[in-house]
Structure 1
Amino acid sequence: MASEKPEVPVTDTHMGDMKEPTRVESDLADEHVVDGPRPTGWMHRERKIGKFSLSWYASPRSQLLMVSFVCFLCPGMFNALGGLGGGGKTDATLADNMNIALYSTFAVFGFFGGTFVNYLGVKATLSFGGIGYCIYALSLLLSVHFNVGGFNIFAGALLGVCAGLLWTAQGTIMISYPKEEDKGKYFGIFWAIFNLGAVIGSLIPLGESIHTKDNVNVSDGTYIAFIVLMFFGAVVALLLCNAKDVVRRDGSKVVLMKHPTFITEFVGLWETLTYEPMVVLLFPMFWSSNWFITYQANGVNNAYFATRTKALNNLLYYLAQIIGALGFGYAMDIQTFRRTTRAKASLIFIFTLTMVIWGGGYAFAKKFNRADVDKKLHPDYVFMDWTTDGYVGPMFLYFFYGMYDAIWQASVYWYMGALSNSGRRSANYVGFYKGIQSAGAAVMWSLDSHKLEFIKEFASNWALLAGSLVVAAPVIWFKVTDHVTIEEDLANTDETIADVLPSGHPEKTVV
């Protein structure tokens, strides 16, 4: 039997008076219902191991863990490889060109990714997305032994397509499956598992180069290990269930478009902007969110450190991401404070963090330029090793760069999740995010391939990050509310409340 809840008056928007709500409106307004109706099939059956109960297979928590594991194996390993700088090579030119192709196609398919997610479903989209990662790593391995420049560029462009689809599907799950009060925690859990892949992946080149104090290319064995793990990630994605089968503990379903088509989803992108035009003020944050990766990987880690120390830095960078994501994610869901208060506090916190961390980064960045660390110009140049005096300061800087990355991404996802609970609208928000993010990354990789001075790369990062927070302030200050109602989520869609009620709900027939 469903628990009793207080009946909250609902304002009649036409007459301006108060009316008694239907039980359906009350059920949907309160997300704290437990033991609500849930289908009885194998996907929705709880199982126990001793005294411990496991979430049903088609629960948001189980699906989040599976998606996290897919990202652990695919983009997590990609980050471990890319974080070394140059795709594991001392000369970053090839990786720069591959990444220009990658993020150019990523921008397009990330932008329209919501269309494919709603049409194909999250399972097929994630699995196809995972394939591109192992082909990318394979092309880097082949480039060590053969001149396959055309295939390298193709692999980069293909990964852009695949990554755009994978990340849009992942983002849709992460911000539309959980309840409002759990969205920060869900991001923290996902980001921790995903980056654990990069931490473990960093152990591969660290183990391979443990005795190498110079800056050299990674071994064939490193590339082969990444290829196998990435392919396994694409296979794991096939074990997911589709969003229409996911049921929360209170019996509610994810808000999805009833009969998605490419035409209606293209229109949906426009409807998303017309529904909430101020979302464009988040676009500079989207643009900035991968802009700094190029500088950190190539301008700091690859340029200044020996191979084994790069691998160690990489491990610490992604370990810091786990700490940052869990800490920030859980903090953003503290129910002691209203959601509007948490949103404003987070903005002030991130702006302060930007000034502190990147201020420390400036002290490091002004120490050297490209010419100083160029082995062709200075054959006797010695890269910094973890045994070198003065290593501790740069090590901690790189650690905090990783923590900052996680907090930035967490804040963007949380702000988007606070604007809507709708799966359809969330997919479009994430599509905007990944498309604009990737366009910015493509520009930055292009600038790096043209050998822009490191200090200029650094300055562009600091300015963009700080400026984008100022631009985003009105959205965070005025558009994030304490709760998004189901009626608001269904606005400008062809869905009804009946479409999102769980099957068998006693009130479904009266809607």
Structure 2
Amino acid sequence: MCWAVNYYNIYQSNDFNGVYFTVRGRALNTFISGVVQIPSAWMLNIFTDRLPFGRRKRAFYAIVYVFVTINAVWVAGYFMMKKTKEGLSEADRVDVHDSGYAAACAVYVLYGFTDATYNCYAYWFIGALSNRPDELSVYASMYRLLNALCQICAFALDLQGYSKEFMFGSSWAFVAAGPIFVLPIIKYWLKDTNMVENINVIEGNTLGIEEPSVETENKKAS
């Protein structure tokens, strides 16, 4: 999931939205795509935080939801990819008033929906792995590092002129493989709770409730 999360944006922005629609169409697509990411996060919240199960089961049901949603949207995206023609002039591209705009816009908006779903689950999952800030900082930094590396690779492939079919197929493969690789972590490492009873120790001394001394008691009595 760390690798895929920024890779597919290059295909969606450069090889679909950037070549299929006019400037006005691209602007409207981007706006609506951003808006639907709000209910996308809320819907994922139903699986990750609202279901009456332990955290491991919620993580499993949520990743199944993510996997099914992603593949359903990318199946629709496949048919739209087949219709995409590169090298069109601005006048030949699909505008907001054209008859085929609604379906193509819906696909791009659903890409945005799944983007928020994917990212929100990834961050929720990272947070579920530990309660230690030092450990979580390592997970989060690795997540963002791999995000950046995969985006560099995707931009390089796009710059080298790889076909839209290749960019689409590799994007779908990465984004679909991510949830599958999460399953072993859910099964073997994720716990229902990370809350443990800790005894704080500083320089070998246990921190607890300090019992009042005899001198203190005598002062209170006087």
Structure 1 length normalisation: TM-score? 0.39
Aligned equivalent of 2:171: 461
Describe the shift of the 1:388–1:339 C-alpha distance in structure 2 as closer, same or farther (beyond 3 A). Answer: same
Counterpart residue type for residue 497 of structure 1: N
For 1:319-398, what aligned pairs fall within 5 Å after superposition?
A: 319-334=35-50, 336-368=52-84, 372-375=85-88, 379=89, 382-398=92-108
Task: Give the aligned partner of residue 22 of structure 2.
Answer: 306
User: 1:457/1:509 Cα in 2 relative to 1: closer, same or farther (>3 Å)?
Assistant: farther
Larger-Rg structure: 2
> For the structure 1 residues 498 and 449, does the alpha-carbon distance in structure 2 shift closer, same or farther, using more than 3 Å as the test?
same
Instruction: Give 2:10's aligned residue.
Output: 294
Distance 1:296 1:354 in 2: 14
Equivalent-residue separation in structure 2 for 1:439 and 1:334 (angstroms): 34
Alignment partner of 1:482: what SS? Answer: coil
SS at match of 2:3: helix
The one-letter amino acid paired with 1:414 is W
- Alpha-carbon separation, structure 2, partners of 1:448 and 1:508: 62
2: CA distance, partners of 1:348 / 1:355? 11
Name 1:412's counterpart in structure 2.
Answer: 122
Q: Residue 433 in 1 paired to residue 143 in 2?
A: yes
Residues 288 and 437, structure 1, Cα contact 8 Å, conserved in 2: yes
Residue 155 (structure 2) aligns with: 445
Partners of 1:353 and 1:311 lie apart in 2 by 25
Cα displacement (A) at 1:451: 1.7
Q: Does 1:470 align with 2:180?
A: yes
What is the DSSP-based 3-state SS (H/G/I as helix, E as strand, rest coil) of the residue aligned with 1:374? Answer: coil
Higher relative contact order (CA 8 A, sep 6+): 2
**Alpha carbons of structure 1 residues 391 and 484: separation in structure 2 relative to 1, 3 Å:** same
Deviations 1:122-147 (A, max 9, x none): xxxxxxxxxxxxxxxxxxxxxxxxxx
**Paired residues for 1:22-421 under 5 Å:** 285-334=1-50, 336-368=52-84, 372-375=85-88, 379=89, 382-421=92-131
* Cα 1:508/1:304, change in 2 over 3 Å: farther
**2 CA distance for matches of 1:392 and 1:508?**
66
Distance in 2 of aligned mates of 1:303 and 1:439: 25
The CA distance in 2 between the partners of 1:442 and 1:497, in whole Å, is 44
Report the alpha carbon displacement of residue 331 of structure 1 after superposing the two structures with TM.
3.5
On the 8 A contact 1:317/1:398 being kept in 2, the answer is: yes
Give 1 or 2: higher helix fraction. 2
Q: Distance in 2 between matches of 1:498 and 1:385?
A: 65
Task: Give RMSD over aligned pairs.
Answer: 2.1
Contact 1:415 1:480 in 2 (8 A): no
Alpha-carbon spacing, 1:438–1:380, altered in 2? closer, same or farther (3 Å): closer
Deviations 1:270-300 (A, max 9, x none): xxxxxxxxxxxxxxx1000111111111111
- Secondary structure of 2:83's aligned partner: coil
Q: Which runs of 5+ in 1 are unaligned?
A: 1-284, 491-495, 500-505
Cα drift, residue 396 of structure 1: 0.9
Deviation per CA, 1:278-329: give whole Å up to 9, x if none: xxxxxxx100011111111111111111111111000111111111112213
What is the TM-score normalised by the length of structure 2?
A: 0.86
User: Is contact 2:74-2:172 (8 Å) kept?
Assistant: yes
What do the CA deviations read for 1:34-93 (whole angstroms, capped 9, x no partner)?
Answer: xxxxxxxxxxxxxxxxxxxxxxxxxxxxxxxxxxxxxxxxxxxxxxxxxxxxxxxxxxxx
1:420 deviates by 0.5
Identical columns (%): 27
CA distance in 2, matches of 1:508, 1:451: 67
